[in-house]
């Protein structure tokens, strides 16, 4: 069985943003970080549901709150994020708060392994 792939680079970036944050993030905030409209984020989330489905990982949404990545299979998620990403040196987003940076560093190191 072949590994699922993320065909659109922005989808991988969106998934990485949610993975690093591991909390609810509004569609507006995600759109600003990825330089797209919140509607595009909604469509991207729908597409990612199909890609994430087999791994039991999912993106939950709460109206008025935002989106959150729920990780059930960390290994599958890392494999999905690392496919064809050897040229990426980091996740391109460094959190501002110390608490968030700790989580960011842990996830960053897990992805690099």
What's the chain's average pLDDT? 81
- For the question of whether the overall pTM of this predicted structure is more than 0.75, the answer is no
Please state which of the ranges 7-11, 58-62, 94-98, 101-105 shows the lowest mean pLDDT: 94-98
Task: Give the other-Cβ count within 10 Å of 67's Cβ.
Answer: 24
Q: Please answer whether residues 20 and 91 qualify as being in contact, where contact means their C-beta atoms are separated by less than 8 angstroms.
A: yes
Q: Which residues lie across from 67 on neighbouring strands?
A: 25, 61
User: What's the burial of 89, exposed, middle or buried (CB within 10 Å: 0-12/13-18/19+)?
Assistant: exposed
What is the 3-state secondary structure of 36-73?
Answer: CCHHHHHHHHHHHHHHHHHHCCEEEEECCCEEEEECCC
Does residue 45 surpass a pLDDT of 70?
Answer: yes
Q: Please answer whether residues 86 and 68 qualify as being in contact, where contact means their C-beta atoms are separated by less than 8 angstroms.
A: no
Q: Of the spans 26-30, 68-72, 100-104, which averages the highest pLDDT?
A: 26-30
pLDDT digits (tens, 9 = 90+) for 15-30: 989 988 889 999 999 9
Domains, the chain, ordered by start: 9-112 (1.10.10.10)
């Amino acid at each position: 069985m072949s590994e699922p792939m993320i065909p659109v680079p922005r989808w991988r970036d969106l998934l990485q943003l949610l993975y690093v944050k591991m909390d609810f993030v509004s569609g507006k905030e995600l759109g600003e970080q990825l330089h797209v409209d919140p509607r595009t984020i909604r469509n991207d989330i729908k597409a990612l549901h199909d890609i994430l489905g087999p791994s039991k990982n999912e993106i939950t949404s709460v109206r008025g709150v935002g989106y959150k990545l729920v990780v059930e299979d960390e290994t599958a998620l890392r494999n999905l994020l690392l496919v064809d990403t050897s040229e990426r040196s980091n996740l391109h987003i460094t959190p501002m708060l110390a608490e968030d940076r700790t989580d960011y560093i842990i996830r960053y190191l897990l992805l690099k392994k």
